């Protein structure tokens, strides 16, 4: 749990906002900053192993405006 908090604190310190999180064997945290989104995926490797962390930064996609039909 301390590693997860450290990662959140590091991202927050860099100006990212935590928008969602889910913790289990495969944990996922989603951060946003300006017009970008960064999902952080973490998975433990088991006994004696390290952790696998994948961070992807991409432009945030805005929802399409609802169309009006005549």
The pLDDT, as a whole number, for residue 5 is 52
Task: For residues 12 and 6, give the distance between their C-alpha atoms in angstroms, rounded to a whole number.
Answer: 10
Return the domain boundaries, the chain.
2-59
CA-CA-CA-CA torsion sign (4, 10, 12, 15): negative
Which carries the bigger pLDDT value, residue 55 or residue 6? 55
Q: Which whole number is the average pLDDT over 49-57? A: 85
Q: Is the dihedral of CA 60, 24, 17, 64 positive or negative?
A: positive
Q: Which of 2-6, 10-14, 26-30, 42-46 has the lowest mean pLDDT?
A: 2-6
* Between residues 46 and 63, the one the model is more confident about: 63
User: What's the whole-number mean pLDDT along residues 1-16?
Assistant: 68
Q: What average pLDDT score do residues 3-15 get?
A: 70
Check residue 8 and give its pLDDT. 67
Please count the other Cβ atoms lying within 10 Å of the Cβ belonging to residue 16.
21
């Amino acid at each position: 749990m301390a590693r997860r908090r450290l990662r959140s604190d590091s991202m927050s310190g860099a100006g990212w906002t935590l928008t969602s999180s889910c913790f289990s064997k495969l944990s996922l945290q989603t951060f946003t900053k300006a017009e970008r989104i960064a999902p952080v995926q973490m998975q433990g490797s088991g006994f004696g192993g390290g952790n696998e962390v994948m961070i992807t930064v991409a432009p945030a996609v805005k929802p399409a405006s609802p169309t009006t039909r005549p």
